[in-house]
Structure 1
């Protein structure tokens, strides 16, 4: 395969990584993109860590062999915090750009010193996440909030299925802390699904906070990793979306078409 035909692969357990793909398009308009949704295994929160890591290493072996990507963006905090290092060891010739909770920028932005990290239960329990807090936010009070349902609610929302304000508030209420006259002022969206709900979350929040979306920072890192390999002229091939379940239903086609992808 010619180097210029090799795609940037954007990977997520579902549709959340589309928030990252959207930012990549702005910075890398000529790069061929393949979006891979591991919907057959969604949600990752239901997996045991060892089984999920083995699943991801095996799945990427197939993906890299078939697609020969010039870079892989793991647009999923749960997947990268669990399996990022294992993937880099297994496939050292492939650059992996990961998604981790944006704890460092949150610590830099907070005025109150009260920060919440809204994530999946898997990301919350990772030592990786706690190491980031110790390294970058030791002077802050960081509350980890693991949501069992918010990723699935985001998937439902983007497919125009009904999601009530009360359902959303139940998932994010623990993010809001008042302590010694101070309030939480930054909430890290530590799952790429969550930015699809940002406007709804602003509406149900008990007070305004900075909802920190890492998608733009991830896209900038991809540009840095590709360096001189970034394409400066368009190719004829269309960007594509692949579902591990093999789904090609009308809703999936309509959603992906809205993001400029062919299923």
Structure 2
């Protein structure tokens, strides 16, 4: 049986990436690791978060012996990718704000990046703007609450539209007769809220979800497995808290994952 691919996130937002990975690589096995004990990462100082995630990967790689790892989390990726690649021998595929494709697609030149405060603060994000979007006006919007709102929404709990609008309103910029036409969803939790975003938006924009690009890159570094090796019940989810609630267990099972 082939080695699995490890998919890691601070919460269950990375399920958007797992869904796309399965579409691109239907013949692969996956282990989905949720660091819910450390969620949300946006509240952490950088040094302790680096230590925590690096140590978690050491444990998970030793336990599951994955062929590769996908970090389905912008905050962890922008902070930790170089260190993880240096420490471990397996390939790592990260999740970084889709600023380059946004700059290539925009017609108005007004692009917003909707992210966590940590991703907005990171030099890595500013570097992407300098490298790929100098010709654009890029608005960085760091939300402290959206990831938690997405977690609630995924579990079937109501999300207040007014509060949600308060988190995304700054993404919509009007300047010199131009309007924002692309919003980069720079957190894997946010695509779960995309339908609500569309209803609240004052004008249509392209909500750019990085999941498809992440899946393509993961396929590029791993390739296909032998389809005959695929077994029922092969995918597993691991929660660092060890005790997900009933709504989360139902959701995880709905994605074909066993705890």
- 2:247 aligns to what? 251
Describe the SS at the equivalent of 1:211.
strand
Q: 2:257 aligns with which of 237, 256, 261?
A: 261
Q: Is the 8 A contact 1:145 1:174 kept in 2?
A: yes
* Aligned counterparts of 2:156 and 2:233: Cα–Cα separation in 1: 29
CA-to-partner distance for each residue in 1:108-163, whole Å, 9 max, x for gaps? 11000000000000000000000000000000000000000000000000101110
Once the two structures are superposed, the pairs formed by residues 181-192 of structure 1 within 5 Å of their partners are: 181-192=177-188
CA-to-partner distance for each residue in 1:54-95, whole Å, 9 max, x for gaps? 11111111111111100100000000100111111111x111
- 2:84 aligns to what? 87
* Aligned counterparts of 2:177 and 2:245: Cα–Cα separation in 1: 51
* Aligned counterparts of 1:210 and 1:97: Cα–Cα separation in 2: 24
Q: Stretches of 4+ moved more than 6 A in 1?
A: none
- 1:239 aligns to what? 235
Q: Is the 8 A contact 2:100 2:133 kept in 1?
A: yes
* Aligned counterparts of 1:158 and 1:133: Cα–Cα separation in 2: 31
RMSD: 1.0
* Aligned counterparts of 2:98 and 2:55: Cα–Cα separation in 1: 28
Aligned pair 1:174/2:175, yes or no? no
Aligned pair 1:53/2:38, yes or no? no
Describe the SS at the equivalent of 2:11.
coil
Aligned pair 1:194/2:190, yes or no? yes
Describe the SS at the equivalent of 1:260.
coil
Once the two structures are superposed, the pairs formed by residues 1-263 of structure 1 within 5 Å of their partners are: 4=2, 6-91=3-88, 93-227=89-223, 230-233=225-228, 234-263=230-259
* Aligned counterparts of 2:36 and 2:245: Cα–Cα separation in 1: 13
Q: Is the 8 A contact 2:233 2:257 kept in 1?
A: no
Q: Is the 8 A contact 1:32 1:237 kept in 2?
A: no
Describe the SS at the equivalent of 2:37.
helix
* Aligned counterparts of 2:131 and 2:49: Cα–Cα separation in 1: 27
* Aligned counterparts of 2:5 and 2:128: Cα–Cα separation in 1: 27
Report the CA distance between 1:236 and its aligned residue: 4.1
CA-to-partner distance for each residue in 1:13-61, whole Å, 9 max, x for gaps? 0001000000011111121111100000000011100110111111111
Q: Is there any run of 5+ residues in structure 2 with no aligned partner, and where? A: none
Q: Is the 8 A contact 1:13 1:76 kept in 2?
A: yes
Q: TM-score, with normalisation over the residues of structure 2?
A: 0.97
* Aligned counterparts of 2:110 and 2:225: Cα–Cα separation in 1: 39
Describe the SS at the equivalent of 1:10.
strand
* Aligned counterparts of 1:40 and 1:248: Cα–Cα separation in 2: 10
Q: TM-score, with normalisation over the residues of structure 1?
A: 0.96
Report the CA distance between 1:253 and its aligned residue: 1.5
Report the CA distance between 1:248 and its aligned residue: 4.2
